[in-house]
Amino acid sequence: MKFTPQKLQDAFNIAEPIIKSIPEIQDTVSKEIKDLESFFQENQLPLDLCFEISSTVSGGGDHDHGVEEKEFLIWCASEKRLFFKRIQYDFVFDCGSGNIYYQNEKEVFNQCPLISTPFEIRKRIHENHLDNFVLEIAKQYHDLKKEDYEIPEDIDF
């Protein structure tokens, strides 16, 4: 495909192979999440694990109130599934005592199987959080030290 503005042509040349590989990227991410879930199922992973993967705060700082949003990756042993959950809390900061009081918990994204979340969530968790989640599970059964593992840097999609 040819474009008259050179900047558009250059951008297209960079983006074209990536855009063409989107179905393959989606399939790979989904397959690997399913494979990991199957591995946990086959090995009858008996414990429930709730792993916080992100926390963002808006407001707060010099303010006495704000909102905190947390995301979790969860292994539910009874259902034998990986789940994703996003919760939002309103909070009030007591400047006098330094205490934070949480109130009004709201599930922004109801707990659902990770594989059923929108692709953007699955891809982000696949690239940035599944490795730590797997290690966190292993730590529940064995005292892993940093020198026991070294995870190579992967090439991002």
Please state the pTM of the whole predicted model.
0.75
Q: Which residue has the tokens 């042993």?
A: 77
If you average pLDDT over residues 147-154, what whole number do you get?
Answer: 55
Q: What pLDDT is recorded for position 157? A: 40
Residues 11, 12, 13, 17, CA torsion sign: positive
The pLDDT assigned to 155 comes to: 44
Model confidence pLDDT, tens digit, residues 2-30: 999 999 999 999 999 999 999 999 999 99
Give the whole-angstrom CA distance, residue 43 versus residue 46: 9
Give the domain 6-145 fold.
Nuclear Transport Factor 2; Chain: A, (3.10.450)
Q: Are 47 and 40 in contact (CB under 8 A)?
A: no
pLDDT in tens, 27-46: 999 999 999 999 999 999 88
pLDDT tens track for 60-69: 555 577 888 8
99 phi/psi in degrees, rounded to 5: -85, 150
Q: What is the mean pLDDT of residues 51-64?
A: 77
For the chain, how far is it from start to end, CA to CA, in angstroms? 23
